[in-house]
């Protein structure tokens, strides 16, 4: 009986740690997106606070990505305008990998299992969803693409 209660206690502790990490990552993603469109935080500070990058080139590319998303000429594109509006209106959801549909999970079949638990899906109300990859408690990628319906999703990272 003592062994069972110890096992139950350990499982409860482990699951609360995992849930806490996922909650922190979901908060990180929501904060990132909400600050992305606020002009009071510079792209440099956005990168330092939220983005996982390596080297000078990765840092520079991450800053350019933030600047481009804030650029009014790019932001006037239907997708980016709708995304911006949904983010500013907090009209989006965030799901972790284990909550994704089988169709979405199939997009990451070629990815190492260690990365799968760090994939999140941001679903704005008015436009297509985005996938996020977390690495070392920062966002390694907030943009990627899939060439065809049957190919894997490719994350663009700042390394």
Which strands form 138-141's sheet, in the order they lie side by side? 92-96, 119-124, 130-135, 138-141
Do the Cβ atoms of 95 and 120 come closer than 8 Å?
A: yes
Render each residue's pLDDT in the chain as its tens digit; 159 residues: 544 433 333 333 333 333 344 689 999 999 999 899 877 899 999 999 999 999 999 999 999 999 988 886 665 678 888 988 999 999 999 999 999 999 999 999 988 888 999 999 999 999 999 999 999 999 999 989 887 766 789 999 999
By three-state DSSP, how is residue 47 classified? helix
- List residues bridging with 154 in a β-sheet: 145
Give the total residue count for the chain.
159
What stretch of H or E contains 116? helix 113-116
pLDDT, residue 38, reads 79
pLDDT, residue 23, reads 84
> Strands 92-96 and 154-155: what pairing?
unpaired
Do the Cβ atoms of 142 and 157 come closer than 8 Å?
A: no
pTM: 0.81
Residue 92 C-beta-side C-alpha neighbours within 13 Å: 29
């Amino acid at each position: 009986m003592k062994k069972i209660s110890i096992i139950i206690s350990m499982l409860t502790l482990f699951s609360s740690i995992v849930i806490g990490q996922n909650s922190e990552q979901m908060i990180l993603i929501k904060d990132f997106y909400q600050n992305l469109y606020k002009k009071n935080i510079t792209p440099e500070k956005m990168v330092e606070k939220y983005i996982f990058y390596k080297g000078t080139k990765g840092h520079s590319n991450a800053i350019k990505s933030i600047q481009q998303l804030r650029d009014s000429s790019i932001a006037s594109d239907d997708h980016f305008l709708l995304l911006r509006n949904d983010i500013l209106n907090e009209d989006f959801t965030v799901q972790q990998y284990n909550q994704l549909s089988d169709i979405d999970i199939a997009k990451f079949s070629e990815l190492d299992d260690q990365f799968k638990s760090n994939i999140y899906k941001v679903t704005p109300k008015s436009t297509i969803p985005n996938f996020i990859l977390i690495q070392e408690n920062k966002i390694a990628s907030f943009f990627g693409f899939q060439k065809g319906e049957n190919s894997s999703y490719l994350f663009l990272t700042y390394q």
